[in-house]
Every structure is written in C-alpha cells, then in structure tokens.
Chains A and B, each alone.
Chain A
C-alpha cells in the first residue's frame, strides 16, 4: 500500500484526498482542526520546496522569506490599501514569483550551492525589512489581518478553513505530481542525476532550475497568504531564518524527491511538538533525538525508505 502510495500518481493522490476527507471523523474539537490546518499549510510549502530540493537538487535557506512575502503582501494590501483579499493573494504571490526569478536567474547559471547562499541572504533581508518597517508592517509586534471575504462570503472558523486548506493541499500535490511527470519534470530529474549528461541531451540546466525555484516560491507565497487570512494576525517570526530551516528539515525528514514524503514530513514535524509537550522539560531533547535517529537509520527520509522496504519484502 505504502509502495503504491509513493509511486502510482493517481493512487497516491486518491489516498491523500481520502485522508483529507475522512480526517474530520477523528477531529473532535477546534484545537484538532487547528493542528490539521497548520499541517496542511506547512505541507503546501514543503511540496513546492521538494520540487527544488528533491528534483532540481538545489537548497533554499530562505523559503520563509517567500512565505513572509505572501503573508505580509496580502496583509498590507488588504489592510492598508483596501484591496480585495483574492486580488491581494494573487498580487503578493506574483511578487514573490518575480523576486524568485530575479534572484534565481543569474545565480542558477552557476553550478554548486550558490543558490543556498543567495536565498539565505534574501530571506534574512526580507525578515529584517518586515521587522524594521513598523509603520507598514507593525514591526516585531506583528499586525492584524482582515478575514478572507470573496463575493460577500467570509471564510471564518476552523471547520471552513480545514476544507479550504485541504483542497489547496490536494491541488498543490496534483500540480507537483503532474509537473514531475511532464517533460520539464523529466529534465529536472535528469539534471539531478548528472548535469553534464542532461546538457548533452539538450536540457538547459538554468532554465529548469529557475522554473523549479519560481514554482516553489509560488507555493510558499500562497501558503503564507492563506496563513495570514486564516490566523488573522501575523508576526515577522514566520519570515525568519529559523522557519526556513524548519521547512527544509520537513522536506528532508519526509524524503527527498517524494511529494508524499514532503506531506508526511510536514505532518510529523508539526504534530510531534504538540504530542511531546507531555514530556515538559525534556521536549526539546526528545525532539532532537527523534530527528537524529531518523536521519541515522532512515537517511533517505521516511517515505522512500519505508516504500523500498515494503517493495523488497513483496519481492
């Protein structure tokens, strides 16, 4: 079952939709919905980030910056300039995509981990700007965001948002799976294998890496916008370097080059701290130990390792 989950595109997507549809049976209060929504939002970012890290072989240490751009873009355009929320979401996402293109285009022509350094700098600049431009962003104390209203209908309450985020996650996974199976996706996988070989076969490395980078930025910005509307209040912490690291950790833990791995990674790393609060002072130690053990014994991440093990047993 897990093996099919990780491989067959339709089967996996159907399983995800089924999980999203059936999960409310197990969610008994708004707190449970809240955790499920945060898992969904993180998973959207991770599915995008996985395209970049898992398929294009580039690391981004600044994806929280795009997330923050989406969140603050939507917040500022709606609250300060009175834009309709849907337009603000599209505009701030387009802004993040444009920035990703401008940063990625010159850098991705180079080989090696230059993108990691550039995104690191970019993410830090974004979080500093958000924290210091307090007249527009509210500074370190954060700012309130008006709820998402479209055609006179306001999205409010955890139960409504659960279905919105669930649908958005399914859409993100569907887009990601399609992209991977498209010619662009095959080109990306070829690049990850051997850049020289791919070039000989006529693949332009820079073009496809930029494509993956821009798409991942779009996913992050959309998730950021949705977070702002859902939470109703945002602070610069979500654009910080630490949050970038958290996102990369989710992708790596779930399994590189596995879309469902990214979803599982986000789910595990979001729910684990909630479960571990029972341990009080030992929470952080156990959390770190779980991550270390996973990386030592499952170096390729949760989903690929388990899927392989199952496939081997069946043979």
Chain B
C-alpha cells in the first residue's frame, strides 16, 4: 500500500511539474521576489535593515491576502558586500529560483555587477544603492529607490540660494560616499550660481580638522561651509568648526542624518542644516503632509517588530518591494516585460523616500521634494520652514 501511494504521489508531482506552465497551476504558485543583500560584512548597516524590512512586509502582504490572489515568497541571499557573490546569487535567483522580480543590491558595486545579468535575462530589478551611475544612462530593466547624492547637493544649494548665499567652502572626507558627493556638488554648483572658493579634504581616520577649517576661515568671502561626509568625520568637523570660532552657516550631508550625529557633535551641532528623508522626522511632519501616513506606518511597524530604530536604508527596501507589488497589480500579471513596463509607468506612488514618478527617461522618479531640509534645534531635528 505504501509503495502504491508513493508511486501515486511521484506521478502526481511529476504531472504537476509538467503542467507548471499552465495557468491553473500558476494561480496556486507563489510570486517569487528575489533579493541579494549585504546582511553581513562591512555594509551590514545597509543590508540588515533591508532584509528585515523585506521579511516583515512580505509577511504583512501575505497576511492581507497576497498579490493578484497569490502569496509572495521571498528568496533572499546574503552577498556580504562582495560583488562576485552578488553576481553568483543573482544568477541563482534568475536561473535556479526563477524569480519574478529582484529587489536588492545594497551597495553600488554589487548592483553594477548584476546589471548586465538582469539586462540579458530580462528581469525587473529594483536596486537599493545610491549612486547615479545605476540609472544614468537609463537601463531597460534597472530601477532604484534611494535618492542620489546629486539631489542632496541640489537641495542644499536651493536652501543656500534662499538665504542669499553664493560663495561657499567645501570640506569632504576620503571615503566612497564623500568622494562621490564632493564630485556631484562641484558639478552642479554652477547651475545654482554657487561658487566654491575652497575645497578641503581630510582622511578617513583623522581626529582633528582644525587645519583645514582654519584655511577656510582665512579664505575671504566664504558665506557658508558644506561638509560632504559620512561616519565620524562630520561630527569632528562640526566641533572644530565652533572651536575656531567660525560663525557662517554649516551644512552637513544626508550621510549623517541619524541621532548618532547629534550625540557625537553635542551642543556644536545646534544650527547645523542638512537634507534628510522624511522618515527621520516622521512624527513631527504636519498631518496634512501626504507622506506622513506612509512613513509613520513603516516606522511603527518596523520598530514594534524589531525593537530598534528605523533607518532610511530599510525604507529603501520598503519602497522597492512596494513598487514591484504596485507594478504587478497595475500590470495584472507577473509577466516580466509587462511588470517592467508598469514599473516605468508608475506615477504618484508615495514611498518612504518621497513621491515616485517614473518615466522612460528616469528610473528613480524622485525630485527634490523627497528631501526635507532639517536644522538641529535643542538637540533634535526640526523642519526648516
């Protein structure tokens, strides 16, 4: 009897797998969302919240009935920040797991290593990495959710224009983020009639930037200082800035948009301005703000589940997953080409990063309203009106 059932079962399984292409079988099979993220390794601060966010929201979407009447299934691999591993896992997602769409690529290097594969295989891919090169030039199957450093520069320059500032000094670190942002700021500064009078740099492990700041202080005509930096450096710059008695406005980048910066810089941080995602000030947004519902909802769900502060990186993963789900709903199918077209046509989608308006020429779809200009007041963030 037992052999009979086993044989029976095998035959049934075989028949089912043969009929896999048939519509009836497809309706039962889950929609596969592939992900490769730097959950461990040097970029774990990006990949960890991204992974948690994807798990949390795939669960929530399934609890609410799934997408197109089918459940979502997350297939996720840890690429450890290594581009070669990312490439291998992307092939696995495409060839072995046959996923319907990919959300992932915590760093620019991992994303760029995978771009040729998804372009060749034709799989919708939403990257979670920052650099402009991912979407410029536009690649048919590649989209991304985070803002770019160029937008941060532009947001700062717009604020400077409003304050009638036209001559500034730039100070930046030597890391990948710092270098990329410095380059972008120098590139777009002329568009805002902003002249960069001084361009100073410091090393990654430096503990004192007084020398560079003194040089800036002695440069005639500097009306504001912009620090393109990530990590500890900007907090030290802020402290030294006050110590040598500089009084012009100081701008920081979105790279230090966390409570950690205010803690490290202490009272010196008062009055510092920086562009940041709305997620950072979710609860203090005015109720009329159309983004408030989304960011507060994500923040509460994440913090309740994982008992740790929400980060903008996890927010990028939320946006990526929701964009793919939205595109599948609009397309009414998981057909890859149709989902891609739907992704490209998404307009007015509200994510944690801002309003997304995709177009064939813009596979990120964010504009400067995605950033909020914040000022440090009484040891906390305050929206600049």
The contact of B109 among A35, A38, A235, by CB within 8 Å, is A235
Contact mask for chain B residues 138-182; partner A; CB cutoff 8 A; 1 contact, 0 none = 000000000000000000000000000000000000111001100
Residues of B within 8 A of A142 (CB): 83, 108-109, 112-113
Q: How far is the CB of A148 from chain B (nearest CB, A)?
A: 14
A141 contacts B176, C-beta separation under 8 Å: yes
Residues of A within 8 A of B94 (CB): 30-31
- Given contacts A31-B92, A140-B176, A141-B108, whether A233 and B87 have CB atoms under 8 Å apart is yes
The contact of B87 among A132, A231, A277, by CB within 8 Å, is A231
Q: How far is the CB of B249 from chain A (nearest CB, A)?
A: 29
The contact of A141 among B95, B96, B116, B131, by CB within 8 Å, is B131
B82 contacts A237, C-beta separation under 8 Å: yes
A139 contacts B83, C-beta separation under 8 Å: no
Residues of A within 8 A of B92 (CB): 31, 34, 274
- Given contacts A31-B96, A232-B116, A233-B112, whether A38 and B88 have CB atoms under 8 Å apart is yes
Per the 8 Å Cβ criterion, residues 284-307 of A in contact with B are: 284
Residues of A within 8 A of B115 (CB): 233
Interface centre among B81, B82, B133 (most CB of A within 10 A): B82
B109 contacts A238, C-beta separation under 8 Å: no
Question: Is A134 close to B, CB under 8 A?
Answer: yes
A232 to B174, CA, bound (A): 26
A233 contacts B40, C-beta separation under 8 Å: no
Question: Is A179 close to B, CB under 8 A?
Answer: no
A34 contacts B176, C-beta separation under 8 Å: no
Question: Is A144 close to B, CB under 8 A?
Answer: yes
Grouping DSSP codes into helix (H, G, I), strand (E, B) and loop, the B interface class, with mixed when no group exceeds half, is helix
The contact of B88 among A34, A140, A144, A232, by CB within 8 Å, is A34
A283 contacts B113, C-beta separation under 8 Å: no
Question: Is B91 close to A, CB under 8 A?
Answer: yes
A160 to B78, CA, bound (A): 28
Question: Is B303 close to A, CB under 8 A?
Answer: no
A299 to B179, CA, bound (A): 46
Question: Is A154 close to B, CB under 8 A?
Answer: no
- Given contacts A31-B92, A134-B179, A141-B108, whether A233 and B131 have CB atoms under 8 Å apart is no
**Chain A interface size range:** 20 to 34
B87 contacts A283, C-beta separation under 8 Å: no
Question: Is A29 close to B, CB under 8 A?
Answer: yes
In chain A, what residue has the closest Cβ to B113? A233
Residues of B within 8 A of A32 (CB): 95-96
B88 contacts A283, C-beta separation under 8 Å: no
Question: Is A234 close to B, CB under 8 A?
Answer: yes
Q: How far is the CB of B84 from chain A (nearest CB, A)?
A: 6
Question: Is B125 close to A, CB under 8 A?
Answer: no
The contact of B77 among A131, A238, A277, by CB within 8 Å, is A277
A238 contacts B84, C-beta separation under 8 Å: yes
In chain B, what residue has the closest Cβ to A156? B120
Residues of A within 8 A of B78 (CB): 277, 283
B176 contacts A30, C-beta separation under 8 Å: no
Q: How far is the CB of B306 from chain A (nearest CB, A)?
A: 14
Q: How far is the CB of B116 from chain A (nearest CB, A)?
A: 6
A3 to B40, CA, bound (A): 39
A142 to B105, CA, bound (A): 14
Per the 8 Å Cβ criterion, residues 66-81 of B in contact with A are: 77-78, 81
Q: How far is the CB of A56 from chain B (nearest CB, A)?
A: 28
- Given contacts A139-B179, A141-B133, A283-B78, whether A235 and B88 have CB atoms under 8 Å apart is no
In chain B, what residue has the closest Cβ to A140? B176
Residues of A within 8 A of B84 (CB): 38, 227, 231, 235, 237-238
A86 to B251, CA, bound (A): 49
B174 contacts A132, C-beta separation under 8 Å: yes
A235 to B88, CA, bound (A): 14
Interface residues in chain A, defined as those with a beta carbon under 8 Å from any beta carbon in chain B: 29-32, 34-35, 38, 131-132, 134, 139-142, 144, 227, 231-235, 237-238, 274, 277, 283-284
7 contacts between A and B (CB under 8 A): A34-B91, A141-B107, A141-B108, A231-B113, A232-B116, A233-B83, A235-B82
What 7 A-B pairs are tightest by C-beta distance, nearest first?
A140-B176, A31-B95, A235-B109, A235-B83, A29-B95, A142-B109, A233-B113
Interface residues in chain B, defined as those with a beta carbon under 8 Å from any beta carbon in chain A: 40, 77-78, 81-84, 87-88, 91-92, 94-96, 107-109, 112-113, 115-116, 131, 133, 174-176, 179-180
Other 9 A-B pairs with CB < 8 A, given A237-B82, A277-B78: A29-B96, A34-B91, A134-B176, A141-B108, A142-B83, A233-B115, A235-B83, A235-B113, A238-B84
